[in-house]
Amino acid sequence: MWNTVVSHLSSYIGWGLIIVYYLVALVYLFITEKRKERRIVFIYMPMAVLLIFINPLTAMAMKKYADDEVYYRLLWMLPVTITIADAACEAVIRLRGKAKVLVAAGMLFLIILGGRLIYTDDRFSIAENEYHVPQEVADICDEIVIPGREVRAAFPAEYLVYVRQYTALVVMPYGWDDLYVYGTDGSSTHLREELEKPTVSAEKMATEADNLSCHYIILSEDKPISGNPADYGMEEYSHVDGYVIYKNLSMDFTDPYA
């Protein structure tokens, strides 16, 4: 359990100095702050939270009753931002003249130096549309959706995260996490494995689409296919944003509003 505590603590602290600044702020407040309500909320409460966090019994209880993956979230109870800002401000207020400006600027510089700009995270990208999902996902979904009913479609792995955010009318034989497979025997993984092969077999693709009641299969236009999908009941339905949409003709496409 001690390993869990240490691992979560080190992962939480990460590569910056913000937690060090927080501890410095705590010590500063501990020395300078006389008001009881402030000492309780900004010094004693966080210390108690830290003691609770580093207690292996807490980690054990979390593992039993919740999920030990979220153990680090106990540290969210520490008012890090409020405390550092408050302590820094209190320190600045005590100064006069130019020293005030210099110290404030110096502390801001230290924060910048000790942290890391949020926008350097490479998971940020310029939004392609008002939904913040890849435009290909929106276009393909719009192409295959039948209002008022669900259709099942197998998407390339890179879009699995986005499809169901965009529309609930498209269901999928497999999601982004392989653990969540559709069907009773995990057979959807066969389709995914087939579609991820360097060359897709048209026959196997059609067979798996039938087995999983899949209305559509979406493949990159660059993906080599051995055999002609049309021979196995997979019609080349449409081309959208560099992807081919294959329609499984053995499925029912009744439009409830027609």
Partner 1 sequence: MNLLNLSFALLILIALPIAAGGGYIIPQSKTLSGDKNSIIEKFIWSWFLGQLLLWCLFQPIAVWCVLKGKDMVTLKAFYLIAIAVAVGVSVIVGTVGALKHRGNKGIATGDYDKDLTDKNTNPLKATSNQEKSKQVISKQEESVKINAYRILWIAVIILIAVQVVLQIVLAYMEVDDSYYVSEATSAVEASRFYNTIPYTGASTDIDFRHGLAPFPLWLAFISSLTGIKAVSIAHVVLPAVHMTMTYMVYAVIGRTLLGDKRRHLPVYMLFVIALNLFGFTSYMTPEKFFMTRIREGKATIASLIIPGIVICLYMILKSLSENKKTDIRLYIMLFALNMSGCLCSTLGALLCALPIFICAVIGAFMLKKVRHLLPMAAGCLPCLIFALMYLKF
For partner 1, which is the closer residue by CB, 104 or 202?
104
Coil, strand, or helix at residue 207?
helix
Determine if 106 is a binding residue for partner 1 (CB under 8 A).
Answer: no
Determine if 191 is a binding residue for partner 1 (CB under 8 A).
Answer: no
Chain center to CA of 212: 28
Distance (Å, whole) CA 17 – CA 72: 17
Looking only at residues 53 through 92 of this chain, which bind partner 1 when binding is defined by CB under 8 A?
A: 65-66, 70, 72-77, 79-82, 84-86, 88-89, 92
165, 141 contact by CB (below 8 A) = no
Choice from 31, 96, 98, 130 touching partner 1 (CB under 8 A): 130
Per-residue interface string for the shown chain with partner 1, residues 210-239, x marking contact by CB under 8 A? ------------------------------
**Of the listed pieces 128-136, 193-201, 219-227, 244-252, which binds partner 1 according to CB under 8 A?**
128-136
For partner 1, which is the closer residue by CB, 157 or 230?
157
Choice from 139, 146, 175, 210 touching partner 1 (CB under 8 A): 175
| Burial degree of 83 (CB within 10 A; 0-12, 13-18, 19+) | buried
242, 136 contact by CB (below 8 A) = yes
**Of the listed pieces 159-167, 191-199, 224-232, 239-247, which binds partner 1 according to CB under 8 A?**
159-167
Choice from 96, 121, 185, 255 touching partner 1 (CB under 8 A): 121
- Phi first, then psi: what are they for 126, rounded to 5°? -70, 130
Nearest to 254 by CA among 148, 141, 168, 152: 148
